[in-house]
Amino acid sequence: MKNKFTWILNFVILFLFLTACKNNQNEQKTTSKKLETALELSYAKSFSIKTFNDFYLIELKSPWPNAKEPFTYLLFKENAQIPEDLEYDQKVQIPVKKMVVTSTTHIPALEALNEENSLIGFPGLDYISSEKTRKLINSGKIKELGKNENINTEILIDLEPEVVIGFAIDANNKTLETIQKMGIPVMYNGDWTEKTPLGKAEWIKFFGAFYDKLAEAEEEFESIEKAYKEAKDLAKSARNTPKVLSGAMYKDQWYLPYGNSWHAQFIKDANANYVYSDTRGNGSMALSFESVLEKAQDADFWISAGQFTSYSQLLEESEHYRQFEVFQKKNVYSVSLTKGETGGVIYFELGPQRPDLVLKDLVAIFHPDLLPNYETTFFKALEE
């Protein structure tokens, strides 16, 4: 009888011990999930970041326009306790040491975080303009991967990247799907879908998570935001509001940004009046030359004049450009005159990450008395 009682007592103790262990394990499994903080994003609308004690969750809400479903990316630290019920599309251990990016707009964020040495491959190296990254390219540390829509997967596999940061205009990107099937995680960056200049710049926090440098990313963005607001406030003190035209002809159509675009926001923040500020839409408007001439013949400035770099090039394309007062007064500005050593247009690479510099350019052009002797970074007056 005593032995039976002892056996029952031992069984109860063992049961309680195992139950306690199980509860403790469950508590450990869910601890990481409970310690959650949403990173504050002031302008970016296309992604969010949730921080836990040993991993991050990035939700990409809009990888491309009209995307049907979001993507969730798990970025985990070494020995992280990941809840078993956690759902995600791709995962990578951080901090990342070997990365491939696919857009020049990604380069400035890596450099701002002092992580350009982690970049091991890129499709279309000649498009990269940054002197800092070009030194790495010239020394052979960053490999050519071909074209973005047809990446050389053999070279990519040999490089063994931990993650590929891609971008796509829709859900049909066979090359990135192939890379993913090979076991290399592909995570999309949707910075280009943002509608505001500061919204695009805030994507540095996306990259900050991959290097476990969110604090550094936030500090860098706050510096950009501060400089942007200062330039905007300065523009408000201008005594006039000039009329501004944008875009250029391609074949028989004049392509211009909509009034709710990030490009139009720059013009507004520079205290100028964009001639199509009342329009709404995605992408670009395609209008006839006659309709643009009727609306903007008396414009004071014309910015972002396509790939043109001189007035003679404009006339070679069409003699009709002479009819604009802005052409006659030589107030046409383009970003195509500022290029890197291999021909890449610097504005397309650095502009999205440094909207403060873009805005200062426009303030200096529209209101030269506010920034006397200021040397613009991107926009330059057309040559003869």
pLDDT tens digits, 272-281: 999 999 999 9
Cα 370 to the chain's mean position, in Å?
30
**pLDDT of 33:** 53
**pLDDT of 148:** 78
d(CA 370, CA 374): 9
d(CA 321, CA 308): 12
Gyration radius (Cα) of the chain, Å: 26
CB 78 within 8 A of CB 53: no
Residue-wise DSSP of 88-111: -SEEEESS-SSEEE--GGGHHHHH
Measured in residues, the chain has a length of 384
Q: What H or E segment, with its residue span, contains residue 151?
A: strand 150-151
- Please indicate whether the domains covering 34-224 and 239-381 agree at the CATH topology level: yes
Is residue 150 helix, strand or coil? strand
Cα 233 to the chain's mean position, in Å?
25
Residue type, 274: Y
Strand 47-51 relative to strand 37-38, pairing? antiparallel
d(CA 41, CA 55): 18
Which alpha helices (DSSP H) does the chain contain, by range? 2-34, 107-112, 131-138, 153-159, 174-181, 197-201, 204-210, 214-236, 262-269, 289-296, 311-317, 325-328, 346-350, 355-366
**pLDDT of 266:** 97
Strand partners, 51: 37, 56
**pLDDT of 5:** 42
d(CA 86, CA 31): 12
Strand 253-257 relative to strand 284-287, pairing? antiparallel
Residue with tokens 């280009």: 192
**pLDDT of 238:** 97
Which parts of the chain register pLDDT below 50? 1-32
pLDDT tens digits, 108-121: 999 999 999 999 99
Residue 312: count of CB within 10 angstroms of its CB: 12
pLDDT tens digits, 361-375: 999 999 999 999 999
- Tokens linked to 21: 């262990």
Closest CA to 120 of 143, 145, 103: 143
**pLDDT of 13:** 42
Residue 215: count of CB within 10 angstroms of its CB: 9
Alpha-carbon torsion angle 349, 194, 73, 37, nearest 10: 110
**pLDDT of 39:** 87
**pLDDT of 7:** 45
Q: Domains of the chain: which residue ranges?
A: 34-224, 239-381
Q: Which homologous superfamily does the CATH classification assign to the domain defined by 34-224?
A: Nitrogenase molybdenum iron protein domain (3.40.50.1980)
pTM beyond cutoff 0.85: yes
**pLDDT of 199:** 97
Domain spanning 239-381, CATH architecture: 3-Layer(aba) Sandwich (3.40)
- Tokens linked to 118: 């982690």
CB 112 within 8 A of CB 223: no
**pLDDT of 174:** 85
Burial of 372 (0-12, 13-18, 19+ CB in 10 A): exposed
**pLDDT of 11:** 43
First to last CA, the chain: 110
**pLDDT of 164:** 97
d(CA 158, CA 135): 22
Residue with tokens 């279309």: 124
